[in-house]
Structures are given as C-alpha cells and as structure tokens.
Amino acid sequence: MPMYQSIKEYIGRKIDTGELQTGSRIPSESQLGALFKTSRMTVNRALRELAAEGRLIRKQGRGSFVAPQRTLSALFEVRSIAEEIKAWGGKYSCHIHLLSEEKIPPGLAEAMHLEPYQSIYHSVMVHMDNNTPLQLADRYVNPAVAPQYLQQDFSRITPNEYLLSIAPISSVEHTVEALIPEAWIRELLKINGAEPCLALGRRTWVADRVATRSTFYYPGSRYRLSGRFTPGEGGTIRVS
C-alpha cells in the first residue's frame, strides 16, 4: 500500500471510531511525517485527498480539522428537503431568494414542451439546517399545473410539498453532475470558489404535461446523494 494511502486509512479509522470528533484538529504534517517516517509531501497528499473527499477541512495557518459528517440523501426519491432535515433531528429553515413570473427562454421552453416566451413561474430558494445551507433549489414551474404557485407561503410549506399535494407526479427524470457553481450560487450556499457541488437536474410530469424543470445544488462537503437501480422487465431500468 502506498504510504499516503496508509496515512489516509490511519486518519479515517480514528474518525470512524470516534477518536477524532467533528471539529477536532488532527496531528500536523510534521507530526504525521515523523510518525510514519515519510516526507511532508507524502503527508500533504494524504490530507489533500481526505479534504477533497469531505473528511477534513484544511485551514491555512491553523491545520486540518475533522469535517462534519455529510448528510446522506436518496438520489431518486422526490422528497421534501424539510422532511429530510427533520428526520435526522435538524432544524429546518428556508431563505426565499426569488419568486417571480417570467418569460420562458426558447431552450427551457423546448425542455418543458412549452411555447417560447410564454409565462413561467421561477423560484430560487436556499434550504438550511441550523442556518447552514444544504440545498439551493432553482425551480421552474408550469403555470398550467400550479396556477397558484406564486401565492404560496413557502416559509410554511416547501414547493415540493405543495406541488405534490395539488398534482401528484406521474413520471420523473434525473441527471446528476459534479461542478463548480456560478458565483451567485456559491454566495447563497456560503461556499468558496474551490468547493464543488453536486447538481441534481430534475424534470417532472403530471399526466402528459411537463410540470417542473429544476436544478438542485448541494455543497459537496455537506451532502451526499445515493441511488438504487432495479432492473425491470424488458431490460429497462426502474428506479426505487
């Protein structure tokens, strides 16, 4: 096993067993170098990879610290973020950044099977646990499916909860990618320019009509997405 990997496993075990708690400062590069009888360059590689995996937070001039455990979310469930946060004992809150009626641009109109420049409802909201942003939801809603969308009090009910209550989903499409988000998204999520996000794209249908087109941004250090695929009949893939 390469030495940097041994160092990673050593630190990982201490985190997994609780010997190193969230926020604990781990031994310095020089201390780990002496312990493993290796160079600081090798130690630095191990710490950089642990930070990239979301297990450590590195603070210049102060050292490396154990990162908060990332929340696990089901990738293919259409579930309220408020329910998820409350389920693990968190304190949910929401910041409404945008809630407006707009003219739909041609590219988005094609994706939602609508005519270009007709009215579309647009919301941008940041969902938080204990005032820490976990998700930015950038959502477009077909007014024909939810004509009263803009009149809702989304400090009391999430858009997802409201939409499911008035128009149950008949079909859903997901895409997911890792990316460095635009500056305005980073600002709302309170992350720096080097931190990647998981971007979950979702289209939903009600009967044969596209109801929503959304992108959900999750800071990579705070959130994990998981999915399970089940093979269906005829070689298709069903999602559960």
Number of domains the chain contains? 2
Q: What is the pTM of this model?
A: 0.65
Mean pLDDT of 88-107: 92
Mean pLDDT over each residue of the chain, to the nearest integer: 86
The answer to whether residues 46 and 87 belong to one domain is: no
Host domain of residue 25 = 3-66
Mean pLDDT of 219-227: 69
Domain boundary pick from 66, 87, 104: 66
What CATH number does residue 14 fall under? 1.10.10.10
Residue pair 67/47 in contact (Cβ under 8 Å)? The answer is no
